[in-house]
Amino acid sequence: MSDPALEQLAEKLLAIIRKKPGERFEFEKLGKTLSCDIEQLRESARLLHDWRYRLKRHRKTITFVAPPDLLTDIEIKFGLKTKTIGRTLFCYHTVQSTNDIAAQKAEHGAPHGTVVVADQQTKGRGRLGRVWHSPPETGIYVSILLRPPFAPDKAPALSIMTAVALADTFGAYVPGEVQIKWPNDVWIGGKKAAGILTELSADKHKISHVVIGAGINVNQGVRQFPEELRPIATSLRRAVKRKVRRVDLLQAFLLNFEKEYAAYEKDGLRKSHAKIRRYSSLIGKQIGIRTGNTVVEGIAIDIDNEGRLIMDRDGTAVAITAGEVSVVKR
Ligand code: BTN
């Protein structure tokens, strides 16, 4: 049974001791600071231990060792540098789909910037009706709720904007190895490491809300991907060859997202255009775009400020808004 008063005390205790990892804090002094008795402090310490914080607990003292890599409210908020994105935050162990939860929160009036995170999804969705494999303790499944002031026709480019934020986030770990595959995939070393699913609720003229969902492969080993995905999927861990703290990665992503979104709201993709070109896995390549049963071929030459892929077809520039792209090998 959870005891809210004890949970509150545990959070206060944690806030004090985590500031100085390795230092012994005396229960007696802590008790005075937090206006509680030593037994209550010991119970709080037990609770922190249950929450998987690494602590050294002695009879009279407690020492903070390390936080867990769990996508909890306390951990994500600790050190989060954003102003709006993630300031309203919902964290879950298991959900069907964080995009669905974010849409429900939107219907109940959740504010712009609300973030929904889960450790595991049982019905994670990808684009084109695909499944997003979402096992626990390895990836990040996150949805960001936006209430943009702009018209619905500016919404599709939010996917590529998010891809830039993700690419910058990965780039801090594996500089030079990250690519964006238009319109919504982020690759590391030529394999997919993250996917983005943008879902819009709007009428003809006004956006009610947008949910941007990102599935981020952080610590999966090869075997944690289903066999059919192994040739095409990867994780950040496989590229950096060590485990990556998901909480740190998520905080960095949310901050990068906030910056990219602020620029996008003001100026569209103008500011990130050079970066998008640099990250693009398609520009300069002979590509094929499948829509239904037809494949149209040409050379990818740009991604414009509306997030459309510009393709050269026999000397004519054609703007593509959606579709499955593949590089044509000759
Ligand atoms: C794709 O590459 O097809 C997009 C994958 C998007 C997956 C994320 S995981 C968080 C959010 N919740 C979902 O059900 N889907 C998105």
How long is the chain?
330
Q: Give the pLDDT confidence score for residue 291 in this predicted structure.
A: 78
Is the pLDDT at 2 greater than 90? The verdict is no
CB of 67 closer than 6 angstroms to any ligand 1 atom: no
CA distances (Å), 54 to each of 34, 275, 306, in order? 21, 40, 47
CB of 192 closer than 6 angstroms to any ligand 1 atom: no
- CB pairs under 8 A, 24+ apart, for 258-263? 258/82, 258/83, 258/84, 258/85, 259/165, 260/161, 260/162, 260/164, 260/165, 260/168, 261/85, 261/146, 261/158, 261/161, 261/165
CB of 219 closer than 6 angstroms to any ligand 1 atom: no
Listed in order, the ranges of the chain carrying CATH 3.30.930.10 are 73-279
Atom of ligand 1 nearest to the CA of 192: 2
User: What's the gap in Å between 242 CA and the centre of ligand 1?
Assistant: 24
Residues with Cβ within 8 Å of 275's Cβ and at least 6 positions away in sequence, in order, are 164, 167, 168
User: What's the gap in Å between 126 CA and the centre of ligand 1?
Assistant: 5
Atom of ligand 1 nearest to the CA of 216: 9
The whole-angstrom separation of Cα 158 and Cα 141 is: 18
Instruction: Give the mean model confidence (pLDDT) for residues 301-326.
Output: 92
Q: pLDDT for 236-277, tens place per residue?
A: 999 999 999 999 999 999 999 999 999 999 999 999 999 999
Please give the class, per CATH, of domain 4-66: mainly alpha
Closest residue by Cα to atom 2, ligand 1, is 195
Mutate to test the pocket of ligand 1, among 159, 197, 217 (most ligand atoms within 8 A of CB): 197
Instruction: Give the mean model confidence (pLDDT) for residues 318-330.
Output: 85
Instruction: Give the mean model confidence (pLDDT) for residues 17-40.
Output: 96
| Closest-CA residue to 164 (of 252, 248, 275, 324) | 275
Please give the share of the chain, as a percent, with pLDDT higher than 90.
Answer: 91
CB of 196 closer than 6 angstroms to any ligand 1 atom: yes
CB of 195 closer than 6 angstroms to any ligand 1 atom: yes
Instruction: Give the mean model confidence (pLDDT) for residues 291-313.
Output: 91
Is the pLDDT at 34 greater than 70? The verdict is yes
According to DSSP, the residues that pair with 300 across neighbouring strands are 311
Instruction: Give the mean model confidence (pLDDT) for residues 46-60.
Output: 95
Is the pLDDT at 172 greater than 80? The verdict is yes
Q: Are strands 54-57 and 140-146 parallel, antiparallel or unpaired?
A: unpaired
The pLDDT mean for the chain works out to 95
| Closest-CA residue to 261 (of 166, 326, 184, 172) | 166
Please give the share of the chain, as a percent, with pLDDT higher than 70.
Answer: 99
Q: Give the pLDDT confidence score for residue 204 in this predicted structure.
A: 87
Closest residue by Cα to atom 11, ligand 1, is 213
The whole-angstrom separation of Cα 221 and Cα 225 is: 7
The whole-angstrom separation of Cα 42 and Cα 31 is: 10
Q: pTM surpassing 0.85?
A: yes
According to DSSP, the residues that pair with 294 across neighbouring strands are 291
SS3 286: strand
The residue with greater pLDDT, 2 or 8, is: 8
Q: Give the pLDDT confidence score for residue 230 in this predicted structure.
A: 94
Q: pLDDT for 189-205, tens place per residue?
A: 999 999 999 999 999 89
Q: Give the pLDDT confidence score for residue 330 in this predicted structure.
A: 61
Listed in order, the ranges of the chain carrying CATH 1.10.10.10 are 4-66
Instruction: Give the mean model confidence (pLDDT) for residues 157-172.
Output: 97
CB 89 within 8 Å of CB 130: no
Q: Give the pLDDT confidence score for residue 1 in this predicted structure.
A: 56
| Closest-CA residue to 274 (of 136, 180, 209) | 180
User: What's the gap in Å between 84 CA and the centre of ligand 1?
Assistant: 22
CB of 98 closer than 6 angstroms to any ligand 1 atom: yes
Structure tokens at 224: 């944690």
CB 185 within 8 Å of CB 198: no
Listed in order, the ranges of the chain carrying CATH 2.30.30.100 are 286-327
Q: pLDDT for 68-104, tens place per residue?
A: 999 999 999 999 999 999 999 999 999 999 999 999 9
Instruction: Give the mean model confidence (pLDDT) for residues 209-223.
Output: 96
Please give the class, per CATH, of domain 286-327: mainly beta
The whole-angstrom separation of Cα 307 and Cα 285 is: 18
Closest residue by Cα to atom 9, ligand 1, is 215
Is the pLDDT at 56 greater than 90? The verdict is yes
Task: Work out the widest C-alpha separation in the chain, in whole angstroms.
Answer: 79
CB of 132 closer than 6 angstroms to any ligand 1 atom: yes
Cα angle 47, 49, 54 (rounded to 5 degrees) comes to: 150
Instruction: Give the mean model confidence (pLDDT) for residues 304-329.
Output: 91
CB of 183 closer than 6 angstroms to any ligand 1 atom: no
User: What's the gap in Å between 207 CA and the centre of ligand 1?
Assistant: 21
List the CATH code of the domain at 73-279. Answer: 3.30.930.10
CA 247 from chain center: how many Å?
10
Which DSSP symbol is given to 252?
A: H
CB of 141 closer than 6 angstroms to any ligand 1 atom: yes
Segment (H or E) for 46: helix 38-50
The whole-angstrom separation of Cα 262 and Cα 43 is: 44
